[in-house]
Structure 1
Amino acid sequence: MPAASTEPAREGRLDGVANVAAAVSPELSARDQGVDTMDPEVWAEMMRINVIGTGLVIRESLPALVAAGGGSIVNVSSLAAWQREEWLTAYASSKIALHALTRHTAHTWGKKNIRVNAVAPGVVLTENVRTGMPPEILQTLLEKTALPHLAEPEYLASMIVFLLSAEAGWITGQILSVDGGVTMHE
């Protein structure tokens, strides 16, 4: 007869959640200009997807995370939250709101052993970015980056996996820049 395991059962339980939703369709982004030309429908859609959608996933995940004895939630924000561009105003506003949601949830649920963090990536060279962004824009973004290249999707994925892992067990309520040094803030 095999020895009984002292490890808790891992099947059927939730240990971590990665919220990777973002309203980035070209049509919506093209309509997301400055506050002086604000389109309330664009703002509502940005908030619905980027903040409310993330909040709903968190809400639905909390009972399972508590039942598992704790866990980790990682929200994906954007360096746009810290930038002062004249466009993507609703997108940037929704991502800074996501920072508040992240910190609120970390504070409120920390005593239940639930860690909540966010990553704020710069431009990630997804297939859509590679094929849809003009080369001159990519070049401009590269010039703002401290490193000699833009991000591959694996860079962001690695940070998310780390924050979901036990190795990040003392990190909560943080917004971590994964942007090649574009924002470099304290």
Structure 2
Amino acid sequence: MGDKGRFDEWEARLWERLAGLLPTTEDAGSFRDSREIGEQEAGIWFLLERLTALELPVDETTAAEIEVLAEHWGERASVHHRIDACARDRDRAASVRLVPDSEAVPGDARAAGITAGPVARMTVVPWIECTHCPSVLSRAHAEDAPGLPGYLAARYLVSRPDRDVPDIYATTDLLHAFESVLTCG
């Protein structure tokens, strides 16, 4: 099965689990319906609106999963503040967490150990980190204009404590990159 098929399966399972966070069958049904009719972006907005309005807690891993889902659908930058505003369930152990905005400082890919190729000229932003080891999934952005990183990630990088150079993933491999941090490689 190709990467698209793997992502679709992961998304379907995640979508169902996220629907289970909503307190009413009406809310859960509206959320499910948005995916069925191909309006995933609207579904993500609806989910986050209900989670924040009702102050429903999500654990750190679920927040990261929602952010990956939003990234895939091109909505991450638009909904990041809503994901960040969700109440957190501190009682559930998390395997990953979103890098806090105060620590998500953009840097040069060369400083991350990438010295050749187009990725070496990109801006790298730490995004999701493992809670068990120092592995980090970062978004790498090409410049839209001199000194301004692009809106969407052009690659994903996973840095690990046992490697000098991060693993580089294409945008179509977002799920692989996320899973590698989720499972500590």
Could you say which TM-score interval applies, normalised by the shorter chain? under 0.3
Please, what TM-score do these two structures have when normalized by structure 2? 0.24
**Structure ranking higher in strand proportion:** 2
TM-score by length of 1: 0.24
Higher relative contact order (CA 8 A, sep 6+): 1
